[in-house]
Structure 1
């Protein structure tokens, strides 16, 4: 069972730029928020291959590229899409309410 089962207020929806990524500390976790085609996604912000922050990487479509070794992840499900990355990143449920981005963090 998650130790963060509640929905946490992360930021204003307007703070997540179109076709880009931002990093936030939410509930003590380093989280990356993305907006692609009007949908907001959330993943852990640290690459599973190296200790690089994904918010410093390059977002192209639904893929975030790690700034350290250029491995990529699909932000919709966390799956690795390009070597050297082999381990998925965690994704977190997102909902928008009253112009706010709410997250349900997963352990």
Structure 2
């Protein structure tokens, strides 16, 4: 599948996340530790926007019940989440951020 531009680097400050809608998919772009990551924006435990969560140690923490997910693998790191989140391949070119499904 082709790369899709979803944001620009200057839209996502370090240690922040940005909600984006790509062809009906709710995604979150995360910027932490100098890297960008893209995941589904909905927590797998209960409906909450991960883009409103807290980034730390390569993980995103859900703002509702503090479930944590690894940004590289999507693995659910602690309860109450038991289902991994989906993560996507991401790249930057210049000031643009791209995702591939």
TM-score by length of 2: 0.94
Q: Residue 13 of structure 1 corresponds to which residue in structure 2? A: 9
Please provide the CA RMSD for this pair: 1.0
TM-score by length of 1: 0.89
Deviation of 1:58 after TM superposition, in Å, equals 1.3
* Contact 1:19–1:61 (CA under 8 A) maintained in structure 2: no
Q: Residue 30 of structure 1 corresponds to which residue in structure 2? A: 26
Structure 2 residues without counterparts, runs of 5 or longer? none
1:85 aligns with 2:81: yes
Deviation of 1:88 after TM superposition, in Å, equals 0.4
Deviation of 1:98 after TM superposition, in Å, equals 2.5
Q: After the TM superposition, which segments of 4 or more aligned residues of structure 1 sit over 4 Å from their partners?
A: none
Structure 1 residues without counterparts, runs of 5 or longer? none
Mapping of residues 31-70 of structure 1, within 5 Å: 31-70=27-66
Size of the aligned set, in residue pairs, is: 101
CA deviations 1:38-78 (Å, max 9, x no partner) are 11000000000101110111111211111111111011110
